[in-house]
């Protein structure tokens, strides 16, 4: 297995663009878990990252309500 360099994480709980280049997915929907997929696909296809882990995350939002999120962890392969 190749060495993995920088790690990036995207979560359905955190709205944002691509952590590498900042581009936003075409559609972001807070109420579904599917909004993570365009971001993950973008990072895989455009930046050549590798999907290292995908899983669930729970926590407490600012309003006290619990939240459930999907988290994907991607790594940049070292070019060496």
User: Which spans of this chain sit near Zn ion (rule: CB under 5 A)?
Assistant: 18, 20-21, 23
Q: How far is the CB of 47 from Zn ion (least distance, A)?
A: 5
Q: How far is the CB of 25 from Zn ion (least distance, A)?
A: 10
Taking alpha carbons only, the member of 48, 36, 47 closest to residue 9 is 36
- Please tell me whether residue 57 adopts helix, strand or coil conformation: strand
Choice between 52 and 56, CB closer to Zn ion: 52
Choice between 69 and 76, CB closer to Zn ion: 76
The CA distance from 65 to 55, in Å, is 20
Degrees to nearest 5, angle at CA 56 with 51 and 30: 95
Q: How far is the CB of 23 from Zn ion (least distance, A)?
A: 5
């Amino acid at each position: 297995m190749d060495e993995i360099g920088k790690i990036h994480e995207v979560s359905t709980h955190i709205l944002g663009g691509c952590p590498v280049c900042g581009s936003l997915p075409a559609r972001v929907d807070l109420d579904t878990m599917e909004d993570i997929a365009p971001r993950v696909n973008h990072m895989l296809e455009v930046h050549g990252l590798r999907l290292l882990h995908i899983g669930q995350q729970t926590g407490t939002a600012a309003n006290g309500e619990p939240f459930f999120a999907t988290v994907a962890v991607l790594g940049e392969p070292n070019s060496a």
